[in-house]
Structure 1
Amino acid sequence: MRRPTYPAWLPVDPFIAGLLGTVLLAALLPATGGAATAAGGATDAAVALLFFLYGARLSTREALDGVKHWRLHLSVLACTFAVFPLLGLAARGLVPFALSPQLYTGLLFLCLLPSTIQSSIAFTSIARGNVAAAICAGSFSSLIGVFLTPLLAALLLGGGGGVSADSVLDLVLRLLAPFLAGQLLRRWITGFLTRHKKALGYVDRGSILLVVYTAFSAGMAQGIWHQVTPVRLLELLAVEAVLLAVMLALTSYGARRLGFDRADRVTIVFAGSKKSLASGLPMATVLFGAQAGLTILPLMLFHQMQLMVCAVIAKRWARRDGGPDPDPVSPQGQRRRFTTSTAKAIARKSRYAPSERPRSPARS
């Protein structure tokens, strides 16, 4: 097992401390007015740079292999647009005991959203998963969600709404275009990326911190944290913690049962258990109008929770990657089981009676 790269005297991982510090900074000094506009622009630039670097790091063959990985993409889409909505419908039984009707509407809306892109890819990269497949899975989920989420919301929430073609164009320009640019320029900048690999690795974590600050600042500016009682807020947090835990367990167990290797399992867990705040906020504005303030509170909380929990998981998997694969059905796990069983057999054979033990040659 690899040793942690941070000092042993730190009580928590510096990345987790950075997430907590970013949330605290947004709570005390939220970006408003012109600062919010600047933070939003910086977030867009950071995400574009992130995708440019991913495009430059991945070979064209790896990217095509990610597109062809249809079993993985179907698994992520099934978790995002089938399992999540079913769990959201099951939570209807918690109204009005643990959830108010408006908070439940927000929770169900959360379950209908597409998966994240930048955070799923960043965590997949940190955990040494299949980044190429994560890029394709997140992009497919977002593109399909542009059309499918409003339809599911109209069906399950009884509301209406639509998303213009400009949203699809915006998605292409902000995410896929930088990735393709990185692919095209990869031949000329590969050496630079290799020499500065460690420094560029902070782009993954820095983009997540910037997204957290911008999103949390928007919630503080709208004052949605003062529209719910502390008890109801704790109940909502508990419900969402259970929802996230169930999805993490289902994606991990399901990926193992379907026979995916470790890298693909990492991608399925991180892409299949998340929901996109970047897509959810504008969609909520279209679907709910003036009532969007309290309705997006479940999404805001779930977004912060999934980032912090998945950051812990990604860092643990990254440190554990140097050791043998713990999966018992993998070749490494089978070899380890064989070694263990062989050792036990030798131990049993060593328990001979004194008369049965082979005698050593007599000394001359």
Structure 2
Amino acid sequence: MFFPAVGVALRVAGHGWLNPVIADGLLFLCLLPSTVQSSIAFTSIARGNVPAAVCSASASNVLGIFLTPVAVGVLLLRGPAGGFSLSSLGAIVLQLLLPFVVGHLSRPLTAAFIARHKAVIGKVDRGTILLVVYTAFSAAVIEGLWTRYSISDLALTLVLNAVILAAALAFTTFAARRAGLSTADETVVVFCGSKKSLASGVPMAGVLFPPALLGPMILPLMLFHQMQLMVCAVLAQRYAAQSGKN
């Protein structure tokens, strides 16, 4: 609930001075689910509750497959821009949920193979995400991304991304401590609750938006993704150091 509220508030507050393209991209960012791999990895580095991180991040992604298209249709898309439909939901389920389910169901048959070739599979995994992002961004450039985005717009997007990430980290930390959670559980709330998934966001954007809108929608997400990795890496090390002292 926190992220959509921030996205909507930023869009309303920015009326008249914030480029609508930036506002729409930031709102789309705020409507996406959390990451899985990086949330779990950072929780592990911080010596947090890894099983809880697995459950939390996976639940966010599964729920996001259904909730994000609906939220985008209600809060973001207008007129002929596209939007939520059963066909778009079906396409997202086919691209994101089906591989997730098949992967888990096939684990008894593939777990040993994956363990033996973990390094190679990890490179293929990251390479696949890179190709998805490259393809989407290339299509956006062809459709005239930089005619909508100037250098000043890019700098403003970075600043607003930093504001959103800082607000999310502060809110999740405060909420976890207010609830009296242990430090191990606090890391789960902070790392799973402050991230946005590039791997899920790009395919969703490709289904929900026409090519002309694809670049402006995913550019804030691409910038946010790099920012969250760098900031959370520092936080994870601090949590680990704190845990070592205790």
Contact conserved, 1:88 with 1:111, CA < 8 A, in 2?
Answer: yes
TM-score (norm 1): 0.56
> Percent of aligned pairs with the same residue?
45
| Long gaps (5+) in structure 2 | none
| Paired position in structure 1 for 2:225 | 303
Match of 2:33 in 1: 114
State the distance in 2 between where 1:208 and 1:130 align.
24
Larger Rg: 1
Q: Does 1:317 align with 2:239?
A: yes
Q: For residues 125 and 177 of structure 1, what CA distance do their matches in structure 2 show?
A: 24
Q: Which has the higher helix share?
A: 2
Equivalent of 1:242 in 159, 163, 167: 163
Matched residue, 2:15: 95
CA distance in 2, matches of 1:212, 1:317: 28
Task: Decide which of 65, 89, 102 is 1:163's aligned counterpart.
Answer: 89
Coordinate RMSD, CA, aligned: 2.8
Q: Which amino acid aligns with 2:195?
A: K
Return the alpha-carbon distance in structure 1 between the equivalents of residues 127 and 182 of structure 2: 32
Number of residue pairs the alignment of both structures matches: 226
| TM-score of the superposed pair, with normalisation by structure 2 | 0.81
Q: What is the rounded CA distance, in whole Å, between the counterparts of 2:37 and 2:186 in structure 1?
A: 18
Report the CA distance between 1:206 and its aligned residue.
Answer: 7.3
Within 5 A, what are the aligned runs for 1:1-364?
82-92=1-11, 93-97=13-17, 99-159=18-78, 160-161=83-84, 162-164=88-90, 165-166=93-94, 167-174=96-103, 176-177=104-105, 180-181=107-108, 214=131, 217-218=134-135, 221-222=138-139, 223=141, 226-227=146-147, 228-290=149-211, 291-324=213-246
- Rounded Cα–Cα distance in structure 2 between residues aligned with 1:311 and 1:101: 32
Greater RCO structure (CA 8 Å; 6+ sep)? 2
Structure 1 unmatched runs, 5+: 1-81, 194-199, 325-364
Q: Deviations over 1:94-142 (max 9, x none)?
A: 2342x31122111111111111111101111111111101111111111
Write the letter of the residue equivalent to 1:121: I
- What's the offset of the Cα at 1:294? 1.7
Distance 1:258 1:139, change over 3 A: same
3-state SS of 2:244 partner = coil
SS in 1 for 2:210: helix
